[in-house]
Amino acid sequence: MYNGWTNYETWRVKLELFEDDAAFQGWTADNFEEIAEELICNGSSEDSLARDYALAFLRNVNWYEIAKRVQDEF
């Protein structure tokens, strides 16, 4: 647990990428994950060490928890 979240990764992604709950009403866990990955990859097909680390970080995120918390806010 980290600050009431499953882990640090989930807390940090919610804080940094999805702070405005109202903007994400109705999103599913898959929506959150897809957008986060798009932000990391930024349309680039080029492999890089930094991108690989970032994607590994995202694999630890509990996307269902983020989606549920956003929905519970309203």
pLDDT digits (tens, 9 = 90+) for 7-24: 999 999 999 999 988 899
Residue 1 lies in a domain: no
Radius of gyration for the chain, computed over Cα atoms and rounded to the nearest angstrom: 13
pTM as predicted = 0.87
Is 2 a domain residue?
Answer: no
| Residue 2, strand partner residues | 5
Cβ(51)–Cβ(73) under 8 Å? no
Total of domains in the chain = 1
Would residue 37 count as lying in a domain?
A: yes
| Residue 41 placed within a domain | yes
For residue 65, being part of any structural domain is answered with yes
The span from the CA of 74 to the CA of 39, in Å, is 26
Per-residue pLDDT reduced to its tens digit, 28-42: 999 999 999 998 888
Report yes or no on 57 lying in a domain.
yes
Burial of 3 (0-12, 13-18, 19+ CB in 10 A): exposed
Residue 3 falls within a domain, yes or no?
A: no
Domain that holds residue 14: 8-72
